[in-house]
Structure 1
């Protein structure tokens, strides 16, 4: 059985969501970033951590990629054009959406007080909005970023949309992106993930 170590209301959500999509059993061990438990597994103190037997895996994108590849679901095969396009969407989510969210978070609570620049949050909100414009253009006819196939790229981007709500960054209230994010939230595995997060919090 897989074990996820980390605070539930973090990027840990991505791993729970994917394991729910895969229908695989797992155990969740709550642990705060930079806690003694996390530092014993990951020197930079970040979550999530996935334990697979004796293997210790870190970084949510790497973990999602590993699980999807291992179980042959929610990803295209490595070395295909489709996989390259999927990876492009994943990297877009990390760079353009998560980048703005994480920079805002670091300057709100994650960094020590003397190393925060509150004014940068306005820039982050603007960058996130620009990213959404690009995503709407790239989305096409959907229903997912890779067309009919739901992939881990949707999990990364979908998680960023939820993070945006917490950060109070604007999300569309109508149109293709609104429908896309709504479609992701309606997936049974997403709803199961949210229940697990509420229970563990």
Structure 2
């Protein structure tokens, strides 16, 4: 059984949701970042951490990719053009969506108060909106980002869109709002959100 360390209201949500989608058992320890329960497995103190057979795996995207590859689901096979498209979209989401939201969070409550720059959030919101316009041209016509099959980037994007709304980063593209509504209806998403 896997062990997932990190609160649900962090990137640990991605890992918990992935495990729910895969129908795998897990033990959830909602330890906060920088706590002793996290630092013993990740010296950076960041969550999530997945423990598999006593080995810690850090970084949500690395964990998602590991689980998808290991269980042969929610991914395209390595070495295929479909996987290259999947990985390209994953990197785009990390660079353009996750990074903007994380930087805004750092300047809202993570950095020491004297180092926070409130004005940076305006430029980040602008970038986030521009990235949405780019993304809708990369989305398939199917129910998921890459077509008829849910993959790792779907987990990342859905989490980022949820995070954006909490952080008051508007989702301005109707295709993305509709997409988020569909993803939230997934039973595995609902089970994770109920945690």
Which position in structure 2 is the counterpart of 1:5?
5
Q: Deviations over 1:36-95 (max 9, x none)?
A: 111111011110000111111000000000000000000001110000000111111111
Which position in structure 2 is the counterpart of 1:187?
186
- Runs (5+) with no aligned partner, structure 1: 197-201
Structure 2 Cα separation of the partners of residues 99 and 37 of structure 1: 25
Q: TM-score, with normalisation over the residues of structure 1?
A: 0.94
Which position in structure 2 is the counterpart of 1:69?
69
C-alpha deviation, 1:7, in angstroms? 1.6
Structure 1 Cα separation of the partners of residues 140 and 72 of structure 2: 25
- Runs (5+) with no aligned partner, structure 2: none
User: Is this contact kept in 1: 2:140–2:146, CA < 8 A?
Assistant: no
The ranges of structure 1 where at least 4 consecutive aligned residues each deviate by more than 2 angstroms after the TM superposition are none
C-alpha deviation, 1:175, in angstroms? 3.0
- What secondary structure, in the 3-state scheme, does the structure 2 residue paired with 1:146 have? coil
Which position in structure 2 is the counterpart of 1:178?
177
- What secondary structure, in the 3-state scheme, does the structure 1 residue paired with 2:194 have? helix
Q: Deviations over 1:107-153 (max 9, x none)?
A: 00011112211110111111111111111111131211111111011
Q: How does 1:21-170 map to 2 (within 5 A)?
A: 21-170=21-170
CA RMSD across the alignment? 1.0
Which position in structure 2 is the counterpart of 1:199?
none
Number of aligned residues = 195
- What secondary structure, in the 3-state scheme, does the structure 2 residue paired with 1:87 have? helix
